[in-house]
Amino acid sequence: MEMVMENKSLDKHFSIRSATANDLESILEIERLCFDSQWSPGQFSASLRDTFLLFEEQGKILGFLIACSCNLARRAIIMRIAVHPDYQGRGIASKLITAALDQFRQRDLKCVELDVEIVKNGARKLYEKFGFKVMQVATVDYEEDTSFLIMKLLLRPPNT
């Protein structure tokens, strides 16, 4: 999938496309800059088989979204979203989410889930703008007080 659109905030053209193995070096750099706990190159390679979208502008990868989906269960889980720190706050994550949700609707999936650390208020607000609702709070490490919000969005079919 590739979409070329006018990016009014930067007045440049961008594309959202599926990632390939050739993109992994740039993706790993964004990963290193955005996350303390990083995925391995093998995890990214395995993700190429499912929904793995890139935001690219003038040939440079600025962000990515990874989701896994189950057509039988008709649901998707957004696993990872990252935008290069120099380009955050410009709507790139929103464009990636929009493209992913469009794909999920085209595949007739019924819901999308994700989790977000409770302390990441900006990310939670972004997901809420898309209609995600908090379904549950999960604490994975009581000593470190690491808690996540599990959020869910029920998808409407395309063109409704």
**Does the residue 146 lie in any domain?**
no
**Does the residue 38 lie in any domain?**
yes
The candidate with the shortest Cα–Cα distance to 120, out of 88, 86, 147, is 147
Tens digits of residue pLDDT in 4-29 = 444 444 446 899 999 999 999 999 99
Q: Report CA-CA distances (Å) from 153 to 92, 122, 133.
A: 20, 18, 6
**Does the residue 59 lie in any domain?**
yes
**Does the residue 153 lie in any domain?**
no
Tens digits of residue pLDDT in 37-78 = 889 999 999 999 999 999 999 999 999 999 999 888 899 999
**Does the residue 160 lie in any domain?**
no
Answer yes or no: are the C-beta atoms of 99 and 16 closer than 8 Å.
Answer: yes
The domain of 73 spans 2-109
Characterise 59 by phi-psi region: left (phi > 0), alpha (psi -120 to 50), beta (else): left
Number of domains in the chain: 1
The residue assigned the tokens 């993109």 is 23
Q: Residue 6 is part of a domain; what is its CATH number?
A: 3.40.630.30
**Does the residue 29 lie in any domain?**
yes
The candidate with the shortest Cα–Cα distance to 149, out of 127, 158, 129, is 127
What is the model's pLDDT at position 118?
A: 81
